[in-house]
Each structure stands twice: as structure tokens, then as C-alpha cells.
Structure 1
């Protein structure tokens, strides 16, 4: 199906065509680990970690650790990375043998040198001293490298959106160059007004559109939002409602403004009803297959 056939369909038929061409994934090889970030986070404490190698295999490791941190308290700044925490200030619940609970806070960014024993007690109770004494066999820099790769995997859900933004930006950039259009990633309403003198009504004062494309010949702006959902959930209903509302805001502009939504993912199979409602209000809803087939280029070409 080409763009003209698709855009001329009734909303239910457009939805069916959209659902039939959803992609299996948008995960490029770069999705899995951001090695640049892993390297950066590991190198932050490379000196401290190399010094802490001293504790590996020590017999009386509690006393050794207490002495080491007393003499070099700044080494404690590396501890959160060893226990896979991005937080530098940790709130801790302690439960004693009588099940009495108490709370404390340990700041690993600004070390309290009067509480070194408290830090060491925490490190011990967290199992880190046992690891250093009995299980660590190699450099702690190498160990933290692996920890950071694991922590980075938690950011994968955010990378799906980043991947879609990258795909959109590359696609728009190419089309804009071919057709003599202007464009801006992460465009705000204020930028569009000041740069192109186009009024864009928005639902949020800080709204940033993933891309805005401007035709000087038509004095027209296309506003593009993109996302990807590999799994279902209540968020998809909220997103469909948000973009439906946003498209209605955009239509109230006194200027020539058109809204475009590029979305994809198998998650939409579990949220067909809210997506169907969005299709009833938003004319330009495309997926990755449609981008590949040149639908976005055809949309801009339609009036140029």
C-alpha cells in the first residue's frame, strides 16, 4: 500500500493497515549496551578501585578495611559502584536481633570521617567484605566494568524511544535536504514562533516536539512525535489519549500546522481500542514500515 491509498482510507481501515505492518523490534545492535557510558562510569573511580584491590583475599578483612578507610576516607566514594548503585547518598533500614528497626543515612559523596566505622559496618552487612575476602579474584576495575554493563541494561527501555528519535531525525534530515525544507529536532513552540512565525498551540508549556519541519513556500509546519512500545500496559492508553488531545490543540492554530505521529511496536496489539480512538482524530499515524516506504516524504510532497 502506498501513501495516497493509506491516507485516503477510513480511520478503521487505516488502523488495520497500520496494525498489519507493525515491526517486530526497533532494537539495533547499539540498543543492548552503551559501552561509552559504561567506560565513563567505570573510569570515575579507577584510582580508588585499584587501591581497594589491596583488600582482596585479606584474612582479617574488617580490621584491614577499617584501617584503610580511616587513612583514606575518599576511597569510600567508590563503594556505590561496587554494589551496583547510582545513588551516592543511601538511606538504610537496620533491623537488630530483637526486630527493632532504625534508619540511617550514609553519604558516599561527602564522606563523614567521624563515621568510618558505620561505613565499614554497612559494607560488611551488604556482603561486600565477604566478596572481597573470598570471591574476588581479579581487578575491581574489571568487576565494576561488568557491574556497569548490568546497570546500563536498566536503561534499555529508554533507548527504544531514543532509537526512534534517531531514526526520525535521520529520515527527516534526508527528506528536508532533498526537498529544500527546514527542520529542527526537539523544537519548542517558542522556537517555531521566533524562527518561522508560526503559532503552535500546545498542551504543555514545556512541550518539545521530536521534530518540526517547515516549508517556506507554503508557510507551513509539520509537528512530529515518535515513540515505540514493545510491550503492552496502561501507558499506551495514556499516550494515545495525550497525542489525540495534542493533535486537537494543534488544529486550533490560526496558522498552517499539521500533526504527525510516528509510532510502532507489538505493544499496540494489546491497546487497539485507545489507538483506534486516536486514529479517529489523527490523520497522519505512521509506523517504521511506512517510514521505510516513504510515507513521510510523500506527506511533505503532497502540497509542495
Structure 2
């Protein structure tokens, strides 16, 4: 039998991969898309008459205004700003005010001062730095898929037939199984992260990773414990939960209860030790002991 405390001790604080921190390909692509316009604006650096020079530049090259949001580290193509002089919603794809109002915007936001006082030497390099900072907002999305990607890599190594993001009703229709015990008699629209089909069984898989604790972990553990108990009423279908993360150390009580009723509760270390492959190869009766 597995020991819960020993198993919990193998949980990892993070699963961040090298490409989690910055997507440099995306950064380079975004800067490249406005490189010409940025180089045109480079002529303004150190200008002694910045307002006149930016006016002439916009008259000649109106397309340069598309760079302005990025220079302010803003993703939107429209920016709202107001003060005692009024409220304005500036469009940086197609100018919706005259040039003078856009000059007001750049003056009041500090852009003209940044450029004219030689605080930067090259707008292309400056935007590279901004894009790196803006890309950090994408870490949440990249991080949210890392555990699923990791589990999928082990499914591929196991050489099994698997499906991603499959709804409970789709499983019933595809293989003619009755999942009513876990669907609240057809009321649930549960979607599983993965579904594995072997000759003997259907395995439904949930995956997650929690680097920090919180009430959500206790709710998740309780709900999966209930699924594990209800799944015993379904012939030919088995529930697998793959989870990890240091957050579980503060929610050990509920996880321990689920661990006691769900033999197929695994973490990353279990996958590395071949738990999934062994289960699919030899677990014909739905049990797997480490």
C-alpha cells in the first residue's frame, strides 16, 4: 500500500518549463510588425522642437500612430483618457481626432518628453523591452496548460488511444456506456481533460497543478472523492486523477481522504515511475498498487 505522507512529499513546487517565462518568438514578431514605423519615429529622438517635428512626421507618415499604444505598454488599439479639458477615446488604427489632439495625448502621457529629452536611444530596442514585459501577462495561459501537456506526453509514451477534452455525453454516445451515476441522471455536462480507451476499459482523466493553497483545493479534492465513489457503480469505466503542486501541503487533510478511496490518484513522480503505462497495460481490474 502507498503511504500518503511519502507520496505528498514528492509533490513539486513548480512545473514551469524554459519557455514559460517569455515567448521571445512572439516578442520579435510583434516588434517586427512595427519596426519600420518605429525607425521613422527614431528621427524624433533628441528633437529640440518635438511638437512641430511630430506634427510634420504624422502628416507625412500617419501610420506611425499605431506604435503609440506599445510605447505606453498598452495592448489595446483604443485608449481612453480624460482630465479637466475633456474625455477622449483615441483610436490608433484610424485617427478619430485631428493631429493636434494626438499631440496633446503624447504630451500629457509623457511620450514627447521621453523622446525629446533623449531618455532612450532607439525606439525599436525600447519596444523589445516593453514587449517582454507585456508577454509576462501570457504566463497565466501558458502555465494553465503545462500540466495537461505533461500528462499528454505520458499518454503518448504509453502508446494508448486517447482523446482530449471529451464531454461525458460524448463518451456515452461513442462507447455506449451509462454514466448516469456521475452525471446526476443526465444533468451534468462534465468535460474530462483526457479519455483513454483500452480493450478492457475506458479511463476518464482529470489533471491539475496547484503551486499555492486555498479553499479551491479542498473543494476539488472533495468533488473528486465523490466522483471516485460514484464511478464504482459504473462498469468498464475508471477515474484517474493526476495532480501535483506544493499547494496540496496546506490542504493535505482532504487530499488524504481522496487518496484513501482513489487508487488511481497520481502525481508527476508516479507518471515518471510508469504508473499510467502500467495501469493501461496491466490494470485490467481497475486497481494499481505502487
User: Normalising by the residue count of structure 1, what TM-score does the alignment of the two structures yield?
Assistant: 0.78
1:287 paired with 2:271, answer no
Q: Structure 1 residues 270 and 86, CA, compared in 2 at 3 Å: closer, same or farther?
A: farther
Matches of 1:222 and 1:85 in 2, distance apart? 45
Aligned residue number for residue 205 of structure 2: 224
Please report how far the alpha carbon of residue 255 of structure 1 lies from its aligned counterpart in structure 2 after TM superposition.
5.5
* Equivalent residue number for residue 262 of structure 1: 242
Separation of aligned partners in 1, 2:44 and 2:115? 6
Q: Which has the higher contact order (CA 8 A, sep 6+)?
A: 1
Structure-2 residue corresponding to 1:30? 19
**Deviation (angstroms), 1:237:** 4.0
Corresponding residue for 1:9? none
How do residues 8-27 of structure 1 correspond to structure 2 at under 5 angstroms? 13-14=3-4, 16-27=5-16
Task: Give the Å deviation of 1:170.
Answer: 0.9
Mapped partners of 1:277, 1:259: distance in 2? 16
Residue aligned with 1:135, SS: coil
**Counterpart in the other structure of 2:146:** 163
Mean CA deviation greater in 247-256 or 59-68: 247-256
Contact 2:228/2:239 (<8 A) preserved: no
Corresponding residue for 1:109? 93
Correspondence 1:209 to 2:197: no
The answer to whether residue 162 in structure 2 is matched with residue 186 in structure 1 is no
* Contact map agreement 1:232 1:267 (CA 8 A) in 2: yes
In the alignment, structure 1 residue 299 sits paired with structure 2 residue 279: yes
Q: Which residue matches 2:120?
A: 136
Partners of 2:262 and 2:250 lie apart in 1 by 20
Are residue 271 (structure 1) and residue 248 (structure 2) matched?
no
Residue 122 of structure 1, CA deviation: 2.1
- 2:75 corresponding residue in structure 1: 86
Q: Structure 1 residue 172 and structure 2 residue 161: aligned? A: no
Structure 1 stretches of 5 or more lacking a match? 7-12
Aligned 8 A contact 1:183 1:212 in 2: yes
Q: 1:278 to 1:249 in 2, by over 3 A?
A: closer
CA distance in 2, matches of 1:149, 1:250: 47
Note the aligned Cα RMSD (angstroms).
Answer: 3.0
Q: Quote the residue 1:10 is aligned against.
A: none
The question of whether the paired residues in 2 share the 8 Å contact of 1:225 and 1:262 is answered with yes
Q: Output the CA distance in 2 between the equivalents of 1:264 and 1:158.
A: 18
How far 1:165 moved relative to its partner? 1.7
Number of aligned residue pairs: 278
Counterpart of 2:288 in structure 1 is none
TM-score in terms of structure 2 length: 0.81
